[in-house]
Chain A
Amino acid sequence: GNSVTQMEGPVTLSEEAFLTINCTYTATGYPSLFWYVQYPGEGLQLLLKATKADDKGSNKGFEATYRKETTSFHLEKGSVQVSDSAVYFCALKSGGTSYGKLTFGQGTILTVHP
């Protein structure tokens, strides 16, 4: 079956530090990959996505590249801000009869200090 594994948190960084949150996956076929962000008290929001190998998703300074050879989709940001503090979820969506269902990683809590 499909699965997503994220690096365990929590991750604590100082403002302007470099961020990497690792994500690897197991899936049949060619899944689409996503990063979702959940700010305190809010629902999940799509941060970025990539639908095929070597695609790079980017948004708000975050980026992630779909690496089929390493089955990875690591999230990176060059300079984090306090407002980036949130929970980040890596997810995949596979096709076929299960189309539309998302499989999530366990989430990584990011805290950025001034």
Chain B
Amino acid sequence: GAVVSQHPSRVICKSGTSVKIECRSLDFQATTMFWYRQFPKQSLMLMATSNEGSKATYEQGVEKDKFLINHASLTLSTLTVTSAHPEDSSFYICSARDANPGGATGELFFGEGSRLTVL
């Protein structure tokens, strides 16, 4: 199947700094990518929908100024956690939808996740 790669897989940062997580579709083009957050022993929570060339659509309750999403190309979306605090520590997962065969019927492929720890 198609591969979605996230980088870094683990990151530790100090409180107040910003961290960027990359999500790449390695062998397909993705017009839409989704960013999820997973808390320990809890489900994945959709944070935002990232569309190539346009602004991301954020879910209710997600601070768009804190979680900056950029989808500059058909194979790359980035999530930047700005001014990170310990409560932002979590597992962030992206998924991408194959633009071909096209439309909203394309299967979703998930990255391996990025674990952020804010000290």
Chain A contact residues, CB within 8 Å of chain B:
4, 36, 41-46, 89, 99-107
Contacts and interface: CB of A to CB of B under 8 A. Distances in A.
Interface stretch (B63-71, B73-81, B82-90, B103-111): B103-111
| Chain B contact patch, size range | 20 to 34
Contacts of A89: 43-44
B18 to A, nearest CB: 24
Contacts of A42: 112
22 contacts: A43-B6, A43-B93, A43-B111, A43-B113, A44-B93, A44-B110, A46-B107, A89-B43, A99-B104, A100-B104, A100-B108, A101-B34, A101-B49, A102-B108, A103-B46, A104-B36, A104-B43, A104-B44, A106-B43, A107-B41, A107-B42, A107-B43
A105 B43 contact: yes
8 pairs of A and B residues whose beta carbons are closest in the complex: A44-B110, A43-B112, A43-B110, A106-B43, A104-B44, A104-B43, A99-B104, A43-B111
